[in-house]
């Protein structure tokens, strides 16, 4: 039977056209974290490589940070906001279940009436959003797509948790994905391992703050008041996550290189999720990357910003001249779920 549906008419390929980042003005050194946990600056640096992180102030919301980063990405891409056909926001720290923060951001950047939605893929969220954007551009449903990774993880940090109190930072990174005449975003290798979902998680679900009826329907049962419940935070099984990231994610990174037809010797830049310096260094060693490859180590001064970490690191490398337009970069994100996404891109 002959289909009556017309074929889609998009661009032959897609590319990252511009990038922007925003880091909150408040810089938090390890010394401030040590007021709450029994540890040392030396221990934090040796375990994570983190010296400082940025935490958002009252006026630096998920939306405002995302808008700042997006404005820079739009300007860098050289397009008008009205040309944006879709806005994809990856975040786990926008606390309203609905509406999606993407719709507010789309309005604030002046994008008109684009498709707009949020995704929750943790630290792999930028890779997921980038893959969706590439599909939209090639399929033809949007000519330009704004992809944002934004987090206020300070809102989900337990300052008394010695294993995680020093890890997380806030910030936003954004890119514009648009049409290209040659391949500039490679095939994505992505997936999940749900049997390990308990290794990184939120300590409590939001429904602990509700009162529930008694089984007999004769009034609410006794339940601790919200004030008596420790606020939900992100927790993780550090050693299990470290082993998974070091051993399994290097395999995924290699698969992304193979899928793109790129060897380690062809790479100019490596931008892994900025989770932990030891993980980054181990992946570099396992992948046998040449010394000529520039490696993003933004985690030292930015901390782990989850979905924002890759675009923030990309923006910094380009802004400081450590990477240049046209460089070939391997990017890989991995985290809660456990989920992951890796691809090879040409830098804007």
| Half-sphere exposure at residue 179, Cβ-oriented, CA atoms within 13 angstroms | 14
Instruction: Using the predicted structure, report yes or no on whether residue 284 has a pLDDT greater than 60.
Output: yes
pLDDT bracket for residue 29 (50, 70, 90): very high
Instruction: Using the predicted structure, report yes or no on whether residue 221 has a pLDDT greater than 60.
Output: no
Find the angle CA(250)-CA(189)-CA(66) to the nearest 5 degrees: 95
Instruction: Using the predicted structure, report yes or no on whether residue 46 has a pLDDT greater than 70.
Output: yes
Chain centre to alpha carbon of residue 80: 25
Encoded tokens for 90: 């990856």
**Tens digits of per-residue pLDDT, 166-188?**
999 999 999 999 999 999 999 99
Residue 209: its pLDDT value, please? 77
As a whole-number percent, the residues of the chain with pLDDT over 70 amount to 95
**Tens digits of per-residue pLDDT, 125-167?**
999 999 999 999 999 999 999 999 999 999 999 999 998 999 9
**Tens digits of per-residue pLDDT, 9-22?**
899 999 999 999 99
Active site residue 273: yes
Active site residue 123: yes
Assess contact for 127 and 256: CB atoms under 8 A: no
Instruction: Using the predicted structure, report yes or no on whether residue 219 has a pLDDT greater than 70.
Output: no
The mean per-residue pLDDT over the stretch 80-91 comes to 98
Please pick, among 30, 54, 123, 276, the residue that the annotation labels catalytic: 123
Instruction: Using the predicted structure, report yes or no on whether residue 83 has a pLDDT greater than 80.
Output: yes
Please pick, among 30, 94, 276, 304, the residue that the annotation labels catalytic: 304
Active site residue 304: yes
Residue 345: its pLDDT value, please? 98
Summary mean pLDDT of the chain: 94
Work out whether the CA dihedral 269, 274, 278, 283 comes out positive or negative. Answer: negative
pLDDT bracket for residue 1 (50, 70, 90): confident
Residue 206: its pLDDT value, please? 85
The mean per-residue pLDDT over the stretch 312-324 comes to 98
pTM of the entire predicted model: 0.94
SS (H, E, C) 320-343: CCCCCCCCEEEEEEEECCCEEEEE
Residue 228: its pLDDT value, please? 61
pLDDT bracket for residue 214 (50, 70, 90): low
Please pick, among 30, 54, 94, 273, the residue that the annotation labels catalytic: 273
């Amino acid at each position: 039977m002959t289909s009556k549906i017309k074929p889609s008419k998009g661009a032959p390929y897609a590319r990252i056209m511009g990038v922007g980042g925003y880091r909150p003005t408040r810089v938090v050194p390890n010394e401030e974290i040590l007021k709450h946990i029994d540890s040392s600056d030396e221990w934090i640096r040796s375990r994570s490589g983190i010296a400082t992180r940025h935490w958002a102030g009252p006026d630096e919301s998920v939306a405002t940070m995302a808008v700042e980063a997006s404005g820079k990405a739009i300007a860098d891409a050289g397009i008008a906001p009205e040309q944006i056909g879709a806005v994809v926001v990856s975040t786990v720290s926008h606390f309203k279940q609905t509406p999606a923060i993407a719709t507010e951001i789309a309005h604030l950047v002046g994008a008109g009436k684009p498709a707009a939605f949020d995704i929750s893929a943790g630290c792999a969220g930028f890779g997921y959003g980038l893959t969706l954007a590439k599909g939209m551009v090639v399929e033809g449903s949007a000519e330009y797509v704004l992809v944002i990774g934004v987090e206020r993880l300070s809102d989900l940090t337990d300052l008394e948790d010695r294993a995680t109190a020093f890890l997380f930072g806030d910030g936003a990174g954004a890119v514009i994905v648009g049409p290209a005449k040659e391949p500039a975003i490679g095939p994505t290798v992505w997936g999940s391992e749900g049997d390990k979902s308990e290794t990184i998680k939120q300590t409590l679900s939001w429904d602990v703050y509700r009162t529930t009826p008694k089984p007999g329907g004769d009034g609410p049962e006794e339940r601790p008041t919200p004030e008596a419940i420790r606020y939900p935070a992100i927790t993780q099984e550090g050693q299990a996550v470290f082993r998974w990231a070091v051993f399994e994610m290097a395999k995924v990174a290699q698969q992304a290189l193979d899928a793109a037809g790129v060897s380690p010797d062809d790479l100019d830049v490596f931008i892994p999720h900025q989770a932990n310096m030891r993980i980054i260094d181990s992946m570099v060693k396992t992948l046998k990357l040449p010394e000529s490859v520039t490696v993003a180590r933004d985690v030292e001064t930015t901390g782990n910003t989850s979905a924002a970490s890759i675009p923030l690191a990309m923006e910094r490398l380009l802004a400081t001249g450590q990477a240049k337009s046209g460089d070939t970069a391997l990017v890989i994100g991995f985290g809660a779920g456990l989920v992951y996404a890796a691809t090879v891109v040409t830098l804007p």
